Amino acid sequence: MQRQILVTGGNSGIGLEMVRAFIKAGHEVMIAARDLGKTLGVIRVLEQEVPGARLHAVALDLADFDSIDAAARQILTTLTQLDTVMLNAGSYTNGLRTQDNGLESMIGSMHFGHFRLMEHLLPQLKVAAEARVVVTSSVAHWTGTIDEASFRDAARHRMDLRAYGQAKLANLIYARELARRTQGSNIRINAFHPGGVATGIWRELPPFAQKVVDKVMLTPAKGADTAIWLALSADAKAFNGEYFVKRKRAFSSRISRNREVAARLWQLSEEIAGL
């Protein structure tokens, strides 16, 4: 079955390896990321690697609701049979930042931005014959809690790792809650941890730490493996609302499995980022 796949953050790192695997398998892919020039350059390279690849680019800034709404319109016009969404874009900032819309930048983009994007895309996924959503979470979710006050008050975190952990926890809670809310439908939603992967996400680390990262961490292709399996394999169809590491179901933190926390986060997400 040929798929139409959206990959957020598909112009580098783990997302780029997802894109590469998808076009090699003959699927049509749209890459969504902020830097359109970079995405178009990546597409030129991929088209040489895989002649005949069907690739599209869209500018998307998950920190900006107007950008999300415009990107969603372009995605749905281009991929009229969209059936697979990889919610992968993300960043780790050295220091806490606030987006123009007042949200702390890590949860603001990785969770609330993706939540809004999905509000646009879900109606299309619901009419696809078989739809899959794969969310890039992280083992860092174990360091996170959901602290509502911090959504608009970055300083509450004191450490950037806490903000990153909260955002990756929110990604995982979202995957589980969306799976519950669409249970019995044609959509399968799962989350995964890619491993520690040598990518641009570590760009704000000091140079000596970046050298260590390059030596000890996985290649982006290895980091993308579980996501590609979740998106394409017949075996993965059996799973919904689960968290995976190395293609295996994995244990996740207690709070990531708490249904009251999930319901509250969903309600807040609708208030903050709903359409």
Which parts of this chain interact with ligand NAP (CB under 6 A)?
Answer: 8-9, 11-15, 33-35, 38, 60-63, 88-91, 109-110, 136, 138, 193-194, 196-197, 199-201
* Shortest Cβ 185–ligand NAP spacing (Å): 25
Nearest C-alpha neighbor of 51 from the set 11, 77, 69, 24: 24
* Cβ contact 78:29 at 8 Å: no
User: Is 68 or 187 the residue whose CB approaches ligand NAP more closely?
Assistant: 68
- Residue 148 CA to residue 163 CA, distance in Å, equals 12
User: Is 63 or 228 the residue whose CB approaches ligand NAP more closely?
Assistant: 63
User: Is 100 or 130 the residue whose CB approaches ligand NAP more closely?
Assistant: 100
Q: Name the E strands within 14-88.
A: 28-33, 55-59, 84-87
Chain centroid to Cα 208, Å, comes to: 28
User: Is 202 or 266 the residue whose CB approaches ligand NAP more closely?
Assistant: 202
* Shortest Cβ 32–ligand NAP spacing (Å): 7
3-class secondary structure, 57: strand
* Shortest Cβ 183–ligand NAP spacing (Å): 25
Helix H or strand E encompassing 41: helix 36-49
Chain centroid to Cα 35, Å, comes to: 17
- Residue 203 CA to residue 46 CA, distance in Å, equals 23
* Shortest Cβ 109–ligand NAP spacing (Å): 4
Which residue number has the CB closest to ligand NAP? 13
User: Is 128 or 245 the residue whose CB approaches ligand NAP more closely?
Assistant: 245
* Shortest Cβ 24–ligand NAP spacing (Å): 18
User: Is 126 or 203 the residue whose CB approaches ligand NAP more closely?
Assistant: 203
Nearest C-alpha neighbor of 110 from the set 39, 165, 29: 165
* Shortest Cβ 270–ligand NAP spacing (Å): 21
User: Is 152 or 185 the residue whose CB approaches ligand NAP more closely?
Assistant: 152
3-class secondary structure, 58: strand
* CA dist 122 → 71, 102, 182, 220 (Å): 14, 26, 10, 28
* Shortest Cβ 127–ligand NAP spacing (Å): 26
Sheet holding 55-59: strands in order across? 55-59, 28-33, 4-8, 84-87, 131-136, 187-193, 243-245, 248-249
User: Is 110 or 236 the residue whose CB approaches ligand NAP more closely?
Assistant: 110
* Shortest Cβ 234–ligand NAP spacing (Å): 25
